[in-house]
Structure 1
Amino acid sequence: MGLRSKPTQRQRRLGHELRKLREAAGMGAAEACERAGLNKPHLSHIEAGRTACPEPRLRALLDAYGCSDTTLIRALVELTNATGKGWWSAHRDVADDRGRDLAELESTTTAYRVFDWLHVPGLLQTPAYMRSLFTHEDPGATAGDLDARTGFRLRRQRVLTEEPAPAFRAVIHEAAFHMGFVDRVTMLEQLDHLVELARLPHVSIRLLPFRCAAYPGTSGTPFTIHDASAPQLSTVYVEQPNTPLFLFAPWHVEHFAADFARISGISLDPLDPGAADEKSSLGLIQHLRYVL
């Protein structure tokens, strides 16, 4: 079997976790290979995500490393047995490698923590909002291109309504509602959509107003924390102008988790369609409907 030239995020993550477990066990590559019946180049390729690690071999490595965390073992087995051929596989003409990696990650996410100050988060966008965003990102896009990109994002959004639905917590800065790439009608529709989504028991949406005295985020970029069934496999997706990043070092996850907790603490109360308090997230939405 040939080596992968472009491992997916899932494949890279599996290799990273195996290397981390080996190093935590204080074991060199040579000893790990001897105990698991591998040669050193093969283990190197597994840890780099360049080749598969069948379940029996995976379990042999985990035994060698003394891993007894059943939740983590089960999650790693799921990673190694996954084929990567989900619904996103049929969208190669629309989504790049990063986009498909994100869709695959979302398929296993158990809870979301999202912060954005530029846009309404993708999983919460209306079709009209998406098309406005895509049009300004790529002015030369055809109607067919826009339909395809919108369809891909709408398909991603099903993670919020299909069972088992993950917990979804979002903080959106007020600035996102003043961006000029969306006309008033589209933005008003988007605001209404957020109110409707907030009725879902597993969705919590907070707004961070301009008047907040604290700087919103130490990272300065929109981010999403994807919690996993095994906490060790949580991932931070950071949106950047050129290349979005998937971060999974423990200190990265801890940093962004602390950032999200701080941002949540200084934002308005969660959007509640039945709460009309002017100092609540719903109160700010009502204000926005008037001033936009």
Structure 2
Amino acid sequence: MARERSGRTVAHLVLATRLKTLREAAGMSRGEAATALGAHAATVRRIELAETSLDEGQVHTLLTAYGAGTAEIEDVLGQLARANLPGWWHPWRSVMDAWQMELMSVESATRIIRVWEPTLVPALLRTPSYSRAVDDVLRPDLSPAEKDQRAGLLMERQKRLRDQNTRIWAVMSAASLHTYVGDEGVMAEQRQALRAAVERPDVTLQVTPQGQLHAMTGMPTVTLYRVDVPEIPDHVVREGGLPGTAEVSNTLNAVTNYRTLLDHVCVAASHPGKSKEALE
């Protein structure tokens, strides 16, 4: 599976693509750009793929070689300075799973998040108490304070997705509503939160009938990020194995295959209107 490299943000990828576009518009090869930079052509290739840090001095040299004007150089360097600032999730990095660290910048640019959740309430629709109770069982390696931090991170993710008008389209098994997480109070609060969520225009929730065989029966949690930035491909995350681990891919084949599976399971699941009844 192709994985996002740690520290390679959406902003860096956009800038790297812009540098490549400017080089090509200037009619320069990577070898010629490397000569101007005093480096090997492989260095320019890595810069254009954001496989290495974008250094302000190198970027300035390349922009000058490409014939960029003063205004454009200032604009690119300004974007680079902002891209190098820590992401909003920086305060939570010590309690984040590795795949979350890789995907946060992508999530921040996502237009639609599609989720298949086989046994629990989808993470992006969970309450803090429900999230904390899940970690109590699945993450005994974490301290109480770390579990509280993770619940806080999840709430911040949910808020930011609402603020950026990202649509959440989730499909969960009816069994999820009968899997007790925490006590009766936690479950009652979570059901109420789901009832409120489905009234929002940015949330679509479908429930697959208990015992129904469908295209994703037996599969672990799958999340598909439909990205709204031309330079960034869609991503798919397949959780499973040890708690806190996941496979991340942005290859066209993997994304297309999982999108097709999600399409099939959405057809098999209850209509969103019917799904509301399951929450009562």
Give the TM-score taking structure 2 as reference length: 0.74
Q: Structure 2 CA distance, aligned partners of 1:233 and 1:152?
A: 25
Residues 1:156 and 2:150 aligned together = no
Match of 1:266 in 2: 268
Match of 2:30 in 1: 32
Q: Secondary structure at the match of 2:109?
A: coil
TM-superposed deviation, 1:110: 1.4
Q: Structure 2 CA distance, aligned partners of 1:186 and 1:58?
A: 56
Match of 2:256 in 1: 254
Match of 1:87 in 2: 88
Q: Secondary structure at the match of 1:170?
A: strand
TM-superposed deviation, 1:211: 4.0
Q: Secondary structure at the match of 1:210?
A: coil
Q: Is the 8 A contact 2:198 2:276 kept in 1?
A: no
Residues 1:224 and 2:223 aligned together = yes
Structure 1 residues 233 and 78: alpha-carbon distance in aligned structure 2, compared to 1, 3 A threshold: farther
Farther off after superposition, 150-159 or 45-54: 45-54
* Of 29, 35, 52, the match for 2:54: 52
Q: Structure 1 CA distance, aligned partners of 2:81 and 2:261?
A: 31
Structure 1 residues 159 and 140: alpha-carbon distance in aligned structure 2, compared to 1, 3 A threshold: same
TM-superposed deviation, 1:217: 5.0
How do 1:1-292 and structure 2 match up within 5 A? 7-8=6-7, 10=9, 14=13, 31-34=29-32, 37=36, 39-46=40-47, 47=49, 49-52=51-54, 82-83=83-84, 85-139=86-140, 141-162=142-163, 164-217=164-217, 220-230=219-229, 233-242=233-242, 243-270=245-272, 272=273, 280-286=274-280
Q: Structure 2 CA distance, aligned partners of 1:249 and 1:78?
A: 27
After superposition, give the CA deviation of every residue in 1:24-78 in whole Å (9 maximum; x if it has no partner).
Answer: x9xxxx9533357562231354347133276678889x9xxxxxxxxxxxxxx97
Structure 1 residues 175 and 88: alpha-carbon distance in aligned structure 2, compared to 1, 3 A threshold: same
Structure with greater contact order relative to length (CA < 8 Å, sep ≥ 6): 2
Q: Structure 2 CA distance, aligned partners of 1:115 and 1:79?
A: 36
Q: Structure 2: which amino acid aligns with 1:157?
A: Q
Q: Is the 8 A contact 1:167 1:203 kept in 2?
A: yes
Match of 1:66 in 2: none
Q: Is the 8 A contact 1:119 1:176 kept in 2?
A: yes
Q: Structure 2: which amino acid aligns with 1:223?
A: V
Q: Secondary structure at the match of 2:206?
A: strand
Q: Structure 1 CA distance, aligned partners of 2:103 and 2:229?
A: 18
Q: Structure 2 CA distance, aligned partners of 1:44 and 1:281?
A: 49
Q: Structure 1: which amino acid aligns with 2:115?
A: V
Identity within the alignment, %: 23
Q: Structure 2 CA distance, aligned partners of 1:241 and 1:9?
A: 25
TM-superposed deviation, 1:102: 2.9
Number of positions where the alignment pairs a residue of Structure 1 with one of Structure 2: 249
Name the Cα RMSD after superposition. 3.6
Q: Structure 2: which amino acid aligns with 1:283?
A: E
Q: Structure 1 CA distance, aligned partners of 2:214 and 2:112?
A: 26
Structure 1 residues 106 and 58: alpha-carbon distance in aligned structure 2, compared to 1, 3 A threshold: farther
TM-superposed deviation, 1:269: 0.7
TM-superposed deviation, 1:9: 5.0
Q: Structure 2: which amino acid aligns with 1:88?
A: W
Give the TM-score taking structure 1 as reference length: 0.71
Match of 1:290 in 2: none
